[in-house]
Amino acid sequence: MGAKLSPLVPQRWFCCAILVSIFTLLLLYLGDWSLSSLSGCRTGAQSCIPEKLLPSQVWQQLSPMEVPGQEEPLCLGPQSMLGSMMRSFHASLNPEGDVALSQYLAGWRELIKFLTPLGSIFSFATSEASTKLTALEAKVHGPKAMHYTSLTTMVAWERQAGLLERPGVVPNDSARSSGSRTIVLLHRALRWSQLCLRRVATGTLDGPDAGSQCSDAYSAVLGPHHPWLIRQAARLAFLAFPGRRHLLKLACPGAREVEARAALTRAAGTLEDVYRRTQGLLAEQDLLQLA
């Protein structure tokens, strides 16, 4: 008689498959994939990053102070990661219509701190984002810092110096990618984060779960830049996505659900403001398909 397989084997295999898929997907989604030729995206095409309205419209305009008898949650306070993130990103939107890179990077650092505890799928993503941030921070604070004060000055300098890669060409050494290319990669990741957080905040109890909504955001923003294999890995990875209520508790500890939803909606609104400003500048410079 042959040896009997333990009933735990399929379960263990499935769990391992999920973890491997998460690792593969999120290691690559901010990595040096340049697959616009496979995605069908045209330069500056909005279809690659659609502006979809989200369900439960009432939450899009809600803030904690609009809820009768409610004070602003502590998770938006001056010492909180969420509040610090919002202030840094807001400060990056300078009056001249540009994006200040130092404040933009500071906002990203706070976003990483905020997302990492929310689950494995976020921690893998933020780990790769940290690598991109470190590379760009070396330019912003390096010997040529005067050319990296804002997105516009950076692009102008790198274009004049011949540092911009050709669209569709992956650099041999990703650590030496142009700052403009790194911004494009971070820009897409910011959009996915913004859509995911807003959908976590605005989703209804009888609607799609948070994993499905964040998976849809991946398909809209990052999926078009990935090959079929990575997109299939994404579908498996999102099966391990935390539930909505659990995410809300982690995002805004100690707050009631209505407060946590409102706080997360406001944070997502700040990310969207930064996304729209950056999107416009990158489109003007014809750089959306640089990576």
Where would I find the H helices in 161-254?
A: 179-202, 210-221, 228-237, 244-251
Whether 101 and 277 have beta carbons less than 8 Å apart is answered as no
Q: Say yes or no to pLDDT of 255 above 80.
A: yes
Q: Supply the pLDDT for residue 289.
A: 86
Grade residue 43 by pLDDT with cuts at 50, 70 and 90. very low
> How many Cβ atoms are within 10 Å of 167's Cβ, its own excluded?
17
Q: Say yes or no to pLDDT of 11 above 90.
A: no
Whether 202 and 265 have beta carbons less than 8 Å apart is answered as yes
- Per DSSP, the three-state class of 236 is helix
Bin 6: left if φ > 0, else alpha if -120 < ψ < 50, else beta.
beta
Q: Say yes or no to pLDDT of 104 above 80.
A: yes
Least confident of 7-11, 167-171, 209-213: 7-11
Grade residue 257 by pLDDT with cuts at 50, 70 and 90. very high
Whether 21 and 239 have beta carbons less than 8 Å apart is answered as no
> How many Cβ atoms are within 10 Å of 36's Cβ, its own excluded?
20
Pairwise CA distance, residues 99 & 103, whole Å:
8
Closest CA to 103 of 133, 73, 143: 133
**Residue 209 or 61, more confident:** 209
Q: Tell me the angle at which helices 101-115 and 151-160 cross, rounded to the nearest 10 degrees.
A: 110
**Residue 281 or 3, more confident:** 281
Pairwise CA distance, residues 231 & 274, whole Å:
26
Grade residue 250 by pLDDT with cuts at 50, 70 and 90. confident
Grade residue 126 by pLDDT with cuts at 50, 70 and 90. low
Q: Supply the pLDDT for residue 223.
A: 77
Q: Supply the pLDDT for residue 216.
A: 87
Q: Say yes or no to pLDDT of 52 above 50.
A: no
Whether 54 and 207 have beta carbons less than 8 Å apart is answered as no
> Which CATH code for domain 71-284?
1.10.3520.10
Residues pairing with 99 in the sheet:
93
For residues 166-183, give the mean pLDDT: 83
What does the mean pLDDT of the chain come to?
A: 77
